[in-house]
Amino acid sequence: MAAIFDGTVGWVCYLLAIIQYLIIGLVTSRDKALDVLSQFDREMARRRKEIEAEFETGRPDTVRPHESDFPDSLGSTCDRRTPPTPANE
């Protein structure tokens, strides 16, 4: 219609087409955003069930490192079983 009519009528039809395009884009974006959120919710529910099952069985899938596996600030490994010796002895 915008190409057929000259003047004000053509511009009005052109603006209506742009507004219609924007409305369709907004509705489509909203639907896609809702799909992404619902997919995220399903994934979080699945992960939550996995974590609950892990705590019910009491067996974690991964092994946590012991604190003695990490070096202390001086570069040696920490050994909490032996007390430190005084420096003046």
By C-alpha distance, which of 65, 64, 62, 36 is closest to 51?
Answer: 62
- 3-state class (DSSP) for residue 77: strand
CA distance 8 to 16: 12
In this model, does residue 48 exceed pLDDT 60? yes
Tell me: the pLDDT tens digits for 12-25?
888 999 999 998 88
CA distance 20 to 9: 16
User: For residue 42, what pLDDT band results from cuts at 50, 70 and 90?
Assistant: very high
pLDDT of residue 45: 93
In this model, does residue 51 exceed pLDDT 60? yes
Question: Are the CB atoms for 78 and 71 separated by under 8 Å?
Answer: yes
pTM score, whole prediction: 0.38
Q: Would you mind telling me the total number of residues written for the chain in this entry?
A: 89
